[in-house]
Structure formats: C-alpha cells, structure tokens
Structure 1
Amino acid sequence: MTNTLQKNTKKESKVKGIAGRKENHTLTYIVLVIFTLIYILPILWMTISSFKSGTELFSYPPKLLPSRFTLENYIDAWNRGDFSLYFKNTTIVAVSATLLTVVINTMAGYAFAKYKFKGSTVIFMFFLATMMLPLEVLMIPIFQVIRTFKMYNNFWGLIIPCAATPAGVFLVRQYFLTIPNELMESARIDGASETRIFMKLMIPLAKPIMSVLAIFSFLWRWNDYMWPLVVIRDTQKYTVQLALANFSGQYAVDWGSLLAMSVLTMIPVLVIFLLFQKQFMKGMIAGAVKG
C-alpha cells in the first residue's frame, strides 16, 4: 500500500512539473511574440505605407491598408532619384569591403589563436582596446590618412579604412580557439605546409564564423551614413544612405519616395541574412564557447 502511494505521489509530481514547464514556456512565447510585434510593426507600417498615395499617407484617422495599392512612389523615386546608380555604388563598396574584411580578419584571428609569438597577448589586448574608441574620435586622423593617400572622394576611401575590425578579429580568434591544435599537428606530420593547413584545413572549418563576419560587414557598409558623408563629395559616387538623405529637403520631405526607397534598401540585407542564417547561428554559438 505504501509503495503504491509513493508511486502515485511521484507520478503527480512529474505531471505537475511538466505542467509547470509548459506554463513557463507558454509565458516565454507570449513575451517573445510581444517583443517581436513591437519590432516588426514599424517596418510593416513603413512597407505598407510605401504603397499609399500622397493623400492617404496623411489621412486622419490613419489606415493600415491603403484603399488602392500603387507603385507610384517606387517609380517616381527610382526615376527622379537615380537610385540605380546609388545601388550600384553601394553594392561595389559593400561587397568589396566585405570580401576584404573577411580575408584580413580571418588571417589575423587565426594568427592570434594558433601562433604564439613574443608580445602576441599584449598586441591583441591593445588591438581590442581600440573597440572602446568611437568613430568620432578616430574620424579626423583617419581622414588625414585618406587625404594623404589620395583616397578622398573615391570608393577606396570607403573600403580600406575599416577592413580590419577589432570585433571581427576577436570573433575569429574565439572561434579558432575551439578547434583542437591536434588537427594542425597531424597535418604537419603528414608534411603539409602552414599555408596548406590554413587554406585546406582551417578555412573549411571556419565557414560559420566567416559567414558571421560577412553578414556584419555587409550590414555595416550598406547602412553606413556618417563615413560616406565625410569621404564622398561627388554626388555621382553617393551611396544609398546619402541618397536617401536627399529626400529630406529644408522645408519639405518627400515621404512617399523616402518610404519606397527605404523598403528597397532593406531587400539586399534580408537576402544576405537569409542566405547565411544557418552558418550565422553556428558561428555565433561556436565563437562564444571558449575564451
């Protein structure tokens, strides 16, 4: 009789524990959904409003859905704003800078993680310390370097200065620390050179963190406004962020065209993230495992 009561008590406690976990999960999902809606609603409102006519944009009370979907804002902004040129400029800068960033940061992070040389720790600490300096502090000296090397008012002035980022080197180093050194030792015993070890062994293993770097770098370059504003003077070399600022005049703002082009500028970012999202998650998780 006592054993039966004990078994029933254990079953009841298990059932209560499962029910409690389900309640906790349900509460967590509700909170996540609420925060998701908070972040998505402004983007959803902007996207839908880009298909509204000029009169409906300022109608009161405001309506979520337009009475008639129209592409006038997109056509007008694309033709009048010459956005095909700005998209081409931004694509050249973002893609070139991303490729260069991935190459340099991967090599630097690999060196700091797998090679021990005199002063490596001190150099790495000083390198990380630059993360505490905002761009506004470094802007003037970097601009002087840009002028000295004749990179002012051209794309190289946007691509070169931020090719090596402390955050990128740190992420790559943390990721390579999770890879056992025994793999390199085995390759050396088999007669592989250091270059071959890096290219044939380490690069394939580092694809997740390289995807993380690619996404972060592309997002940064595509959405950057401050540095192109400083470096670029010629309107024919403007990026999309500088072009969007032109829709805000001194006395009026072309809201329809501004909303339409803002929606279009989000599309490349979404495409890049969807292409690399699996590798992105793997790289973020693995890079945070070992310090």
Structure 2
Amino acid sequence: MPLGHGTSASAARRHRARRSAKHHLGRFVRDVFLLALSAFVLLPFAWMVLSSFKRNNEIFTTPITWFPEEWQWHNYADIWVKSDMTTWLGNTVLLAVVVTFLQVFTGSFAAYGFSRIRFPGRDFLFIVYIGTISVPWQAYMIPQFKMLSAVGLSDTRLSIILLQAFGAFGVFLMKQFYDSIPEELSEAARIDGLSEYKIYYRIMLPLSIPSIASLAIITFTNTWNDYMGPLIYLRSPDLWTIQLGLKTFIGQYNADYAAIMTGSVLSVLPIAVVFVFGQRYFVQGIATTGMKG
C-alpha cells in the first residue's frame, strides 16, 4: 500500500474521531443545559406538591426541607370540607370542555373556508380578522361587558362561553395546517361528487388531528386558567370557577398554607394530565403547521 494512501486514511480516521468527540460533547452540553432548564421549571411545582402534604409550620422552614416529616394525606380530604371545591371544579370543567369544543369546531370550519373556498376579498378579510389578535382584551373589555349585560347574559356561564368560543388564533392555526394539505385531494373529492361540507368532514378533519389536538390543548389550558373573565362576569358563588374560587379561598385561609398548596395542586393537576396525554399530538401539530405537503 502506498505511504501517502495510508497517511490520508489515518488522517481521515483522526478527523472522524475529532468530529465524533465534538458531536458527543455538544450533545452532553445540550443535555446538561436542558436538564438544568427542566429542573428550574419543575422544582417550584415539585415544592408545591410536597408542601401540600406538610403541616403549616413545615412549609416555610429555613433551611428548606423538601419532604414532610409526616405525610399529611388528610389535607386533600380537608380541602373539600373547607371549600366548595366540587362546584368550582365542576364549573371549570364544564366551561373548559364546551369552550374547547366550540373553538375547535368554529376555528376549523372557518379556517377551511379561508383555505379552500375562493371568494372576493378572502385574503383581505383573513388579514383583518387575524389582525384582531393584536388588539388587547382590555381595549374592548368594557364595551363587551355592556353588550352582554344589556342582553341579560351577565352572571351566566353563557357569557364566558360566548367570550371564548370564537377566536382568531384557532382560525389562523388551522388555516396554516390546511394550506399544507395538497389541493389535489379536495379536487379529487369534488370530482367524486362530495360537497364542501363532506370534504371538510371526511377528508380535512381526519388529516388535521395533530393540529386540532394542539388547538384543543391551548384552548383548554387558557379557559381553565382564565381569571379575569369569571371575575368580571360570574358574581354568584355557585358559578365560580376554580381560579376565582381559589382566590377567594386564599383570602379566607391566608394563614393555612397547607390548604392553599393543596388547592393550588388541584387547580394545576388537570392541566398537567391533559398535556401529558396530548403532548405527542401537540408537538406534532405545532411542528407540521405551515409546512407544505
């Protein structure tokens, strides 16, 4: 074997070894950074969960003790006695489910029209509609309240449903996904005699499951965590949501830190469960939105 060939092969192996070492070092640094970032995000939540099993005098000790000396499992039973948690959770679940369903339906249906139906002024109307996302709710909060109060919807669940069941963000998200679906599928369906409604129901919706899941998770989370809407519109205690009820509970039991932590865990836990079970579709929907097929 010529000497030059052996030298070049050895140099190539050293180059590959250096590249491999840099690659593994880069992955190690990335993993350490992501681990530290995850710990930064999750440690407060972990402290809150562990504090919900402690006595009051154990929560704010110095130095911090992470685990309780004796697990107070009864805290999760006492919270139902001290508060109207059943009503709060029931109202919140009802509003979150109804709003999520309506926003997914209206958003996907309107997005199909903007994406697949050609009509005069379509693009201009879409830009104007999406532009409403930049208008803060505080700018039209008072006129909106006066309008709903004038028709007798104040202090009703329907007011919250109407406030959040229609959103430009859902239309934007779904349209971006529909635009990534080849137009040939719709054309072939029209040739086969399908109406636009059947194309939307039989073709577009089944293909857009990841995007629908993303919109559903975002909407459910926003509705569940909403505080200002219920604060303004829901004055009757039997209509309060978990966020509004928990705020009132904290005002009444401002020294019962264990109960406050327990209530906070109950308010966050459903969101965590929804995201854990839907994260695969959520990530897939966000990653594929806007990509051309």
TM over 0.5: yes
Q: Does 1:196 align with 2:198?
A: yes
Given candidates 69, 80, 83, the residue that maps to 1:81 is 83
Report deviation, 1:149: 2.6
Aligned to 1:281: 283
Given candidates 127, 130, 155, the residue that maps to 1:128 is 130
Indicate if the aligned counterparts of 2:180 and 2:290 stay in contact, CA closer than 8 A: no
Q: Does 1:271 align with 2:273?
A: yes
Indicate if the aligned counterparts of 1:247 and 1:257 stay in contact, CA closer than 8 A: no
- 2: CA distance between counterparts of 1:31 and 1:287? 27
Matched residue type, 1:24: G
Given candidates 95, 98, 119, the residue that maps to 1:93 is 95
Given candidates 136, 139, 150, the residue that maps to 1:137 is 139
Q: Percentage identity across aligned positions?
A: 32
Counterparts of residues 5-20 of structure 1 (less than 5 Å) = 5-20=7-22
SS, match of residue 59 in structure 1: coil
Q: Count how many residue pairs are aligned between Structure 1 and Structure 2.
A: 291
| 1:244–1:251 CA distance, 2 compared to 1 (3 A) | closer
Aligned to 2:109: 107
- 2: CA distance between counterparts of 1:72 and 1:21? 51
Alignment gaps of 5+ in structure 1? none
| 1:193–1:288 CA distance, 2 compared to 1 (3 A) | closer
TM-score, structure 1 normalization: 0.96
Indicate if the aligned counterparts of 2:79 and 2:263 stay in contact, CA closer than 8 A: yes
Q: Does 1:211 align with 2:199?
A: no
Indicate if the aligned counterparts of 1:104 and 1:164 stay in contact, CA closer than 8 A: yes
- 2: CA distance between counterparts of 1:101 and 1:246? 29
- 2: CA distance between counterparts of 1:105 and 1:225? 23
Matched residue type, 1:96: V
Alignment gaps of 5+ in structure 2? none
- 2: CA distance between counterparts of 1:54 and 1:3? 75
- 2: CA distance between counterparts of 1:233 and 1:249? 16
- 2: CA distance between counterparts of 1:252 and 1:159? 31
1:225-262 deviations in Å (ceiling 9; x for gaps): 01110000101110000111012328944321111011
Matched residue type, 1:188: R
Indicate if the aligned counterparts of 1:85 and 1:236 stay in contact, CA closer than 8 A: yes
Aligned to 1:156: 158
Indicate if the aligned counterparts of 1:215 and 1:272 stay in contact, CA closer than 8 A: yes
- 2: CA distance between counterparts of 1:275 and 1:61? 36
Q: Does 1:180 align with 2:182?
A: yes
1:55-85 deviations in Å (ceiling 9; x for gaps): 2123333311110001233222211101011
